[in-house]
């Protein structure tokens, strides 16, 4: 039996931590979603999601990240739930303001309290590969096809660098496990491989896009070619310490230094697109995408 749930009947939680635009975005979200609630400043991804579940009065709730702005039409949609999906998390795509990518990173999601309270991920993980840095490897965590928001991880050089660095690490992994250099090209999932190359090539037209490109390249290099502990990517305090060193450098110089090592050692077909080329890519990448319905999976 199918249950039809109006998105507007679900609690909506705006989850913020240190995002530079979180206050500005909160005003916009309140105007768009007057019933929205907010959870701010909870350290650790697992703990923050549990705080969001605590704040919700509905068993299922919508979550908006602190650097995300939803499309208003999302709140007019309906979810169709049945025995195959009524206990699942749904994560929709977001458009990335730096490089134009549209995938789950930064996108809106819809959780059940039961799922959130039962998970042990990130800082609460037992260290297993599939929970140390991600939520998404649980079979009841569904990646959905449609795109209903835009993520803006680009307000400052540090925010852009951190966003790039985190994706540069996570997209090297095979279900959370680090492959060897020899295994890299065959174990990294094809779409992740493509997105990784785009993070490392596109975005020079964005005011802080070069920092994101540098972060993505550095994250991949330190994960695959050095002995950096990749599970630390979930720890924002550790990333801040890295920034204290790498944020003093010139991003273009560092991007160029990393080009040949990443091309030669990992075979990544990366390049640094100029401003106009980045704009061209983003325009045409977005033009070919069409939503198909909120319950369609990737």
CATH code, domain with 23: 3.90.550
193 and 245 within one domain: yes
From residue 228, alpha-carbon distances to 113, 162, 181, 225, 245 in Å are 34, 15, 14, 9, 15
The stretch 179-189 carries a mean pLDDT of 94
Looking at the predicted structure, is the pLDDT value of residue 108 above 90? yes
Minimal CA–CA distance to 271: which of 219, 197, 169?
197
CB 206 within 8 A of CB 251: no
23 and 101 within one domain: yes
In this predicted structure, what is the pLDDT of residue 132?
87
CB 149 within 8 A of CB 68: yes
177 and 68 within one domain: no
CB count in 10 Å sphere of residue 143: 16
- Least confident interval from 48-52, 135-139, 242-246: 135-139
The stretch 167-194 carries a mean pLDDT of 95
Question: How many domains are there within the chain?
Answer: 2
In this predicted structure, what is the pLDDT of residue 229?
95
Portion of the chain with pLDDT greater than 70, in percent = 100
| Domain hosting residue 57, numbered range | 3-153
189 and 95 within one domain: no
141 and 88 within one domain: yes
Q: Is residue 294 part of a domain?
A: no
In this predicted structure, what is the pLDDT of residue 252?
98
Q: Sort 56 into a burial class: Cβ within 10 Å, 0-12 / 13-18 / 19+.
A: buried
CB count in 10 Å sphere of residue 255: 22
- Residue 25 in tokens: 């975005």
207 and 67 within one domain: no
76 and 31 within one domain: yes
pTM over 0.95: yes
Which of 153, 172, 192 delimits the end of a domain? 153
The stretch 65-79 carries a mean pLDDT of 98
Per-residue pLDDT of 54-66, as tens digits, reads 999 999 999 999 9
- Residues 6 or more apart whose CB falls under 8 angstroms from that of 153 comprise 67, 96, 97, 98, 106, 159, 160, 162, 163, 212
Mean pLDDT (the chain) is 97
149 and 167 within one domain: no
The stretch 262-281 carries a mean pLDDT of 97
Cα gap 57→54, rounded to integer Å = 8
In this predicted structure, what is the pLDDT of residue 16?
98
CB count in 10 Å sphere of residue 234: 21
Confidence of residue 143 (pLDDT cuts 50, 70, 90): very high
**Neighbouring-strand partners of residue 40:** 16
167-190 as b/e, with b when 16 or more CB fall inside 10 Å?
bbbbbbbeebebbeeeebeebbee
Instruction: For the chain, give the longest Cα–Cα distance.
Output: 59
In this predicted structure, what is the pLDDT of residue 256?
98
Q: Is residue 252 part of a domain?
A: yes
112 and 11 within one domain: yes
Which of 111, 138, 153 delimits the end of a domain? 153
Cα gap 12→15, rounded to integer Å = 10
Q: Is residue 293 part of a domain?
A: no
Which of 114, 131, 153 delimits the end of a domain? 153
In this predicted structure, what is the pLDDT of residue 161?
98
The stretch 21-45 carries a mean pLDDT of 98
Confidence of residue 1 (pLDDT cuts 50, 70, 90): confident
CB count in 10 Å sphere of residue 102: 20
Between 219 and 130, name the one with better pLDDT: 219
Give Cα 199 distance to the centre of its chain. 12
147 and 8 within one domain: yes
Between 189 and 155, name the one with better pLDDT: 155
Q: Is residue 295 part of a domain?
A: no
Q: Is residue 131 part of a domain?
A: yes
Report the interhelical angle of 251-266 vs 209-224 (nearest 10°): 40
220 and 137 within one domain: no
- Residue 247 in tokens: 């944020």
Place of tokens 């999302």: 74
Q: Is residue 54 part of a domain?
A: yes
Q: Is residue 44 part of a domain?
A: yes
Q: Is residue 244 part of a domain?
A: yes
37 and 110 within one domain: yes
The stretch 15-40 carries a mean pLDDT of 98
Per-residue pLDDT of 191-250, as tens digits, reads 999 999 999 999 999 999 999 999 999 999 999 999 999 999 999 999 999 999 999 999
């Amino acid at each position: 039996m199918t249950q039809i749930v109006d998105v507007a009947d679900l609690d909506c939680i705006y989850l913020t931590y240190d995002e530079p635009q979180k206050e500005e975005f909160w005003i916009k979200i309140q105007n768009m979603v007057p019933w929205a609630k907010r959870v701010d400043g909870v350290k650790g991804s697992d703990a923050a999601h549990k705080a969001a579940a605590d704040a919700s009065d509905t068993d299922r709730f919508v979550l908006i990240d602190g650097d995300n702005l939803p499309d208003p039409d999302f709140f007019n949609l309906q979810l169709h739930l049945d025995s195959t999906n009524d206990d699942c998390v749904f994560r929709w795509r977001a458009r990335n303001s730096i490089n134009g990518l549209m995938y789950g990173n930064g996108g809106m999601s819809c959780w059940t309290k039961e799922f959130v309270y039962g998970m042990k991920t990130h800082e609460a993980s037992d260290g297993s590969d599939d929970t140390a840095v991600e939520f998404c490897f649980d079979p009841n965590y569904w990646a959905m096809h449609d795109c209903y928001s835009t993520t803006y991880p680009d307000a400052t050089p540090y925010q852009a660098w951190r966003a790039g660095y985190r994706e540069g690490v996570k997209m090297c992994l095979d279900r959370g496990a680090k492959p060897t250099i020899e295994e890299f090209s065959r174990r990294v999932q094809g779409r992740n491989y493509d997105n990784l190359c785009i993070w490392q090539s596109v975005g020079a037209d964005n005011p802080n896009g070069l920092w994101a490109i540098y972060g993505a390249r550095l994250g991949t290099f330190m994960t695959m070619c050095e002995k950096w502990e990749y599970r630390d990517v979930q720890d924002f305090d550790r990333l801040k310490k890295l920034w204290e060193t790498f944020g003093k450098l010139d991003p273009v110089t560092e991007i160029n230094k990393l080009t040949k090592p990443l091309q030669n050692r990992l075979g990544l077909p990366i390049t640094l697109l100029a401003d106009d080329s980045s704009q061209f890519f983003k325009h045409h990448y977005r033009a070919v995408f069409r939503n198909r319905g909120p319950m369609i999976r990737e």
